[in-house]
Chains A and B, each alone.
Chain A
Amino acid sequence: MTAEVRHIRTAAEQGLVDAFAKVKARLPGETILAMREAAFEAFEAGGLPHRRVEEWKYTDLRALMREAKPLAGVPDAAARQAARDAGAALGSVARRRIVIVDGTFAPELSDLAGLDPGLTIRPLAEALGKSDGETVRHVGRVLPVEDPALALNIAFMNDGAVIQVADGAVIERPIHLAFVTTGAAASFTRSLVVVGKRAKLTLIESHEGADALDYQVNNALELVAGDDAAVEHIKMMLDGDGALHVSTLMASFGRNVTFNDFSFASGSAVTRNQLFLRFDGEGSKADIRGATLARGEQHIDNTLVADHARGHCTGREFFRSVLDGESRSVFQGKIIVRQHSQKTDSKMMSNALLLSESAEADNKPELEIFADDVVCGHGATAGALDEELLFYLKARGIPQKEAEALMIQAFVGEAAEGIQHESVREVVMERTRQWLAERG
């Protein structure tokens, strides 16, 4: 037997071990306890991911996470009061808002009346508590991913939303999952969204919390899109400047699915946004985009894996980041094309705009192609604002700062133009303008 090298646990790792031992019996869903335990064991073996773990080489969570915050309890009256305006950034969008406060689904703050025919929404804790067959069948199983942060999410997941859209149901009003954190705690949320065949859904997530509040968010979303479904998913990461935000999307697409995704990241001290996508049927199209706006010492990581398990699918990945101060962005994108997935068309591009000398952008594109009849490509750039363009704008009478702002907006706008829902796209541009105004 080979000697097992065990590392010395960090304070954060020890905190998580203690917390799991304490709460595991109280977590919802007896039937999934074994799954939780297995996930936690997997986490314990490797501990928090660090720079020698390839997938996490630019985001050393072991170094970045100094302690395990206490698990958020059931929100009290004050927390619920503080969460009343959750998701206000999306206020201009005519949407159905579901509020999740400190990791707990808050029905009294959510718009649950008059659900469209074919639409059901309920708390994950409730579904797990009742061992709901559909939920138990899917949760943690839509797209199994071995990832330490995700393992922690499975171990500790407490609540979230379970959304089901029946075959053929077209949900016009976007559903908005508004996550808000009100205290210096850790929350582990998981949501499950099952969209039936030929069904249509726009799903918005927003994540927020007060500035100068030291909190941790570990959020996961599992999405199943049935044949011919059309789904748009927009995630607005607007957490407070003291937050550590880790979130993961796992999505599986049937045949002829149209999927649009947009990740907007401008909050948190540290953000790790993971997207795992798998094409499980032919003829599907996924357009995955993101915009990152970082300043100060912010660290924002977008990591994506697009697995073409079936052929004849189109994937487009387009991520842009704007970096000021000493901030850092990471983009890791991996396209996997399986041996039989012929006629795959997948392209990936990441561009970083550096506004200061000390900002840093790390881009890591990877292609793993086993099929021989495919069109795949990737590109990555990093650079400053184009001086020639700035001169052109200034020669037309536009002052330096305004010219810079116009160019940055255009840079973000080219990513945001992929958002189909117009009023959501406008929210992204409005947040960008706000960020630029704060830049001065």
Chain B
Amino acid sequence: MALLEVKNLHVEIEDKKILNGLSLTVEKGQVAAIMGPNGSGKSTLAYVLAGKEDYVVTGGEILFDGENVLEMEPDERAAKGLFLAFQYPMEIPGVATMTFLRTAVNAQRKARGEAELSTPDFMKRVKEASAKLEIDPDMLRRGVNVGFSGGEKKRNEILQMAMLEPKLAVLDETDSGLDIDALKVVSEGVNRLRSRDRSFIVITHYQRLLNYIVPDVVHVLSKGRVVKTGGKELALELEASGYAQYRDEAA
């Protein structure tokens, strides 16, 4: 069953067309990798899924769990189970990571008509999840991402994902800026969350990440649309041959 259906999506930013009739289906429990050259629209797709304002959808639709998310605010989409791990996580001085996590978890629960988590319950979950990601408890008391290294910021994104338990997680170049050790920790964090009920869209420029997070399907994006779909071996082919042929194909 399809969890996400993107149909003939057209998106512009500042009058520049970025997505040109992109169609994509992600099944429940599926890990879909999206690869493509710079400027092919990978990050735009991530932002449009999450509901960033600057992007103007000029055509097409996005159905998430059967509902049209284009009508929804970013926070409503999040409460429905859509999560975006940012390529460049923001720093929020003055807001402790702990406060941020708790506010987010409870806001989503409230939106879904669920009871808020009790303090001990919440603390227990944070402690467990952060320990697995090798996040120092001290970091949780500091301002969100303030003074964090690139790797720490990405781990913090995965911690948020673990706490929010989304139905669909979109990982936007989560591998960028990570050394091999950090990449392993982050990938293991993602793999632990894989389940029959949770889908992932893993956006990456390089095949390397897919050695650790092995996808069920690989989509190649070029000039704002999916130009090829295949199994995990497609990623290896791309690594060997590069994106040149797809640039030509779409042109």
Contact = CB atoms under 8 A, between A and B. Distances in A.
Contact of B79 (A391, A397, A409): A397
Interface stretch (A77-85, A243-251, A400-408): A400-408
Contacts of B143: 410
A387 interface: yes
Chain B contact patch, size range: 20 to 34
B75 A389 contact: no
Given A387-B53, A400-B73, A402-B103, A394 B78 contact: yes
A391 B53 contact: yes
Interface stretch (B4-12, B87-95, B198-206, B212-220): B87-95
Contact of B92 (A387, A392, A395): A392
B94 A398 contact: no
Given A407-B92, A407-B95, A410-B94, A394 B108 contact: no
Contact of A396 (B53, B73, B160): B160
A411 B78 contact: no
Contacts of A396: 75, 78, 100, 104, 107, 160, 164
A55 interface: no
Interface in B97-148: 99-100, 103-105, 107-108, 111, 143
Contacts of B79: 397
A357 interface: no
Contacts, number: 75
A410 B95 contact: yes
B74 A391 contact: yes
Contacts of B92: 389, 392-393, 407, 410
B164 A397 contact: yes
A397 B94 contact: no
Contacts of A393: 92, 100, 104
A410 B78 contact: no
B94 A389 contact: no
A430 interface: no
A23 to B, nearest CB: 48
A398 B51 CA distance: 13
A399 B90 contact: no
Contact of B94 (A394, A395, A413): A413
Contact of B75 (A398, A409, A411, A414): A398
Of the listed residues A388, A397, A400, A414, the one surrounded by the most CB atoms of chain B closer than 10 A to its CB is A397
A334 B73 CA distance: 45
Contact of A414 (B94, B107, B108): B94
A437 B163 CA distance: 27
B86 interface: yes
B74 A394 contact: yes
Nearest to B50: A395
Interface string A369-392: 000000000000000000111011
B52 interface: yes
B84 interface: yes
Contacts of B94: 409-411, 413-414
Nearest to A392: B90
Nearest to B89: A392
B100 A388 contact: no
A400 to B, nearest CB: 7
Contacts of A403: 75
A397 B107 contact: yes
Nearest to A388: B90
B52 to A, nearest CB: 6
Contacts of A414: 93-94
Of the listed residues A388, A399, A409, A413, the one surrounded by the most CB atoms of chain B closer than 10 A to its CB is A399
A56 to B, nearest CB: 33
B190 to A, nearest CB: 18
A125 B108 CA distance: 59
B80 to A, nearest CB: 9
B86 A392 contact: yes
Contacts of A400: 73, 75
A394 B73 CA distance: 8
Nearest to B109: A397
B74 A395 contact: yes
A394 B75 contact: yes
Interface in A229-288: none
Contacts of A409: 94-95
Contacts of A398: 75, 103-104, 107
Contact of A395 (B84, B93, B103, B105): B84
A201 to B, nearest CB: 29
B93 A410 contact: yes
A406 B74 contact: no
B164 A395 contact: no
A387 B47 CA distance: 14
A402 B99 CA distance: 13
Nearest to B91: A389
Interface in A122-174: none
Interface of A: 387-389, 391-400, 402-403, 406-407, 409-411, 413-414
Given A395-B78, A397-B75, A400-B75, 7 more contacts: A388-B90, A392-B86, A395-B74, A396-B75, A397-B78, A399-B73, A410-B92
11 contacts: A391-B50, A391-B53, A393-B100, A394-B51, A395-B50, A396-B107, A398-B75, A398-B107, A402-B103, A406-B100, A406-B103
